[in-house]
Structure 1
Amino acid sequence: MKTAQVVIVGGGLIGTWSAFFLAKRGFQAILIEKGVVGAQSSGVNFGNLRLQGRYPGQYPLSLRSQAIWEEIGSLIGDSCEFEKTGHLYVATNEAEQEKLEQHARVAEGHGLVIERIDRTGLRRRWPWLGEELQAATYSARDATANPRLVSPAVARAAQRLGVEIVEHACVHRVRKNGDGFTIETDTGLTVNCAAVVNAAGAWALSIAEAFGETAPMFAAGPPQFVTEPIPYRVVPSVQAVSGSVIFRQIPRGNVIFAGYPRTVADPVLNRAPVPPQKTLNGMRNLVRIAPFLKSAQVIRVWSGIEGYLPDMLPVIGESETTPGLFHAFGFCGHGFQVGPGVGAVLADLIVDGRTDTSIAPFSIKRFENDVQVSEKLAHEFDAPASPGRPE
């Protein structure tokens, strides 16, 4: 039997950053992870810290998060290979150019500096790009980091501030206990606490549903691969506005690829297999954008288990049914960039009872009614059988 002010369920980016910021503000926290810290989507994602092309209502959170990323080395004592590489959004036709312009205007409305680049400018600055590209926008503030390093590094920093990290313990029961909660795990650990952070990723619904709340979340992940090391020449992250190609090159020379459509994952068996055809399609799409990679050898293929919602927005905030329970799940592939900001916001809510960072669009209450299905859902997934649950 243990006691704490806050128990955080889930040892990914959201959970570890929440633990870190709560400890920074003097709160005693215990983080419980069913496996090992950072082993799920937080540790196997693409590693992009992209500010371009975000949902408009997410910019206050995203910008707060980017400011934290920019100080990560001094905050936690480890840079986690953070690098301000910039992000190049590319278009191949007029419709995609119009989408780029829409994204650019929204980003500029939130204070970002977006550079518009025509076909000639692309060839001059990045001569290795394919001939079919017509235009691009560039954000110099966008960055990358190594997802395999971040969650463990943040967890270590939280531990130095007094957070207890419990791994290999699956939370199988969360119940209300007077003014607080009792957490029980399959290892026999019981913790009494005043507040709970539900940051259990694709497994978070079991906690929400225990308190009468739910959301139409499903599990999936982007197919990814990495090439052998080749001479370093690609500095920015490059993304086709269609989403078919997202790639970056690390200084060691390897090129990392991700692209849509995403692949369905199995949170019960804890598997996220990538069909070989998706890898082949990704290779073909990549060579159209960057022809110099046509001879590069793919050396590893993987995906991860992420939670997705039909409007392609996360759930963030206090429970509508149970004071003291705070949800943060369903990040739809965007959790890496916003993770630090979400942790800071949750610390605000728990310590101060409020936050100055807008999270209104992310309330779980929105699922009490029909939620508009995002066009991104159909665009980024293989033909869904029903809104919010692709086959």
Structure 2
Amino acid sequence: MTLAARFTRPARAQGNRPPARPASARSSDVIIVGGGLQGLSSAVHLARRGVSVRLLEAEYCGRHSSGVNAGGVRTLGRHVAEIPLSLAARDRIWHHMEEFAGHDGGFVPSGQLQVCETDADVAAAKARIAELEALGYTHETWADQATVRELVPSMSHHVLGGIWVKDDGYAYPYHVVTAFRASAERAGAEILEQQRVTRLWHEAGVWHVQTQRGTYEAPIVINTAGAWAGELAEQVGDPVPLLADGLMLMVTQRVAPFVEPVLGAMGRPLSFKQYANGTVVIGGSLRCEADPVGRHAIVDMATMRNSAITVTDLFPHLRNMQVVRAWAGVEGFLPDQIPVIGPSVASPGVFHAFGFSAHGFELSPIIGEIMADLVEHGESRLPIHPFRVNRFTQQENT
């Protein structure tokens, strides 16, 4: 089976698919706003279906949280609403990434382990596994203390067990960004950088999208503008309480191999992995101050210190390991910590995918498929009702 056949959904009735438009310098079938992974994935899926796509990126593709993040390919610990999407992304695309994108993105199926350090952690972990099993999900399993020691022999002896997901792993974010971009362009998508969108409006059946370099037109707009997507959503009549906040991670010196799975902790924030070159990447929703207008965030060393303490509690032999660099970027967070995915409720022809709240990396390959399905057919094969854009205003009105 060819790549196009494997990863392109067969055409059905035209549904919501935009009519063919004559090619011009300013006109396309679809405009995607935002060149992070969600936007690039949408461009890949749509262009492979023969839709003319123009993607507008304010800076350069992958500039913020898409290009530099912890790289976790994680179904472990997901909000229940995200589980069908995360399993589809992992099993249908991440484990076939080279076939999908022409590059494996550095994907390593290392497994992921969320460790329990207290009796309360153990009780919470076992309750979580039981909850998922009652819903028909079996990807999260209990690992007792002996199993944890088998998986990670260097782990501190105080760890009592953990939740194990064997098919999860990690990848290299900027490799994935680059692969998605190249795939989109090979399929015919046009990607324009340094094109910050300042305004959009609907006139004569067409959306007009204004940037500092000109105005573009399309009947369909996809809003994947990350931490800045709330501004566009408000312009089209879909206000959301999106917070642009900072997110950090740190990278250590190279050390001898001591851990293969990606690690998290049940009772405190942690995302921890060792790459093949020996460096260790430490994250775990490390928040910091952000300046969305200036489009940057500020590293908070005190917060990073707390995460480093967690690491050395789990691996005492790392106490003298040096941090060689740190990174802070701007991410979009929503109050319930799950994204907006789906059509606008106020403006026909607009679709949203934003607010991934520091865990959108793993979902990105399937988000593009969902956006393409919505554009072409007006519906998604995957359940996206929990992610509707008006869920916050609905709560306020009830």
Q: Same fold (TM over 0.5)?
A: yes
Question: 1: CA distance between counterparts of 2:360 and 2:55?
Answer: 18
The equivalent residue for 1:155 is 181
- Encode CA deviations 1:142-163: one digit per residue, 9 max, x unaligned: 0111012211220111001100
The equivalent residue for 1:355 is 380
Cα pair distance change 1:110/1:74, threshold 3 Å:
farther
The equivalent residue for 1:139 is 165
Question: 1: CA distance between counterparts of 2:204 and 2:136?
Answer: 43
The equivalent residue for 1:7 is 31
Pick aligned residue for 1:191 from 208, 216, 240 = 216
Question: 2: CA distance between counterparts of 1:243 and 1:360?
Answer: 30
Greater mean alpha carbon deviation, residues 19-28 or residues 284-293: 284-293
The equivalent residue for 1:57 is 81
Specify the code of the residue in structure 2 equivalent to 1:353.
Answer: G
Pick aligned residue for 2:238 from 196, 210, 213 = 213
Specify the code of the residue in structure 2 equivalent to 1:62.
Answer: S
- Encode CA deviations 1:147-189: one digit per residue, 9 max, x unaligned: 122112201110011000000111111110222211111012x
Question: 2: CA distance between counterparts of 1:352 and 1:155?
Answer: 24
Identity of aligned residues (%): 35
Question: 2: CA distance between counterparts of 1:174 and 1:311?
Answer: 27
Instruction: Spell out the pairing of 1:116-135 with structure 2 (5 A cutoff).
Output: 116-135=142-161
**Quick check: 1:315–1:330 contact (8 Å CA) kept in 2?**
yes
Matched, 1:307 2:338: no
Matched, 1:270 2:295: yes
TM-score (norm 2): 0.90
**Quick check: 1:56–1:106 contact (8 Å CA) kept in 2?**
no
Q: Over aligned residue pairs, what C-alpha RMSD do you find? A: 1.6
- Displacement of 1:123 in angstroms is 2.9
- Displacement of 1:107 in angstroms is 4.4
Specify the code of the residue in structure 1 equivalent to 2:229.
Answer: A
Question: 2: CA distance between counterparts of 1:50 and 1:214?
Answer: 29
Consecutive unaligned residues of structure 2, counting only runs of 5 or more, are 1-24
**Quick check: 1:128–1:291 contact (8 Å CA) kept in 2?**
no
Matched, 1:31 2:83: no
- Displacement of 1:362 in angstroms is 0.4
The equivalent residue for 1:383 is none
Matched, 1:225 2:253: no
- Displacement of 1:311 in angstroms is 0.8
Secondary structure of 1:90 counterpart: strand
- Displacement of 1:260 in angstroms is 4.6
Aligned residues: 371
Question: 1: CA distance between counterparts of 2:243 and 2:132?
Answer: 29
Specify the code of the residue in structure 2 equivalent to 1:280.
Answer: R
Secondary structure of 1:369 counterpart: helix
TM-score (norm 1): 0.91
The equivalent residue for 1:329 is 354
**Quick check: 2:247–2:297 contact (8 Å CA) kept in 1?**
no
Matched, 1:283 2:304: no
Cα pair distance change 1:115/1:155, threshold 3 Å:
same
- Encode CA deviations 1:34-65: one digit per residue, 9 max, x unaligned: 00001111011100011111111111111121
Specify the code of the residue in structure 2 equivalent to 1:25.
Answer: R
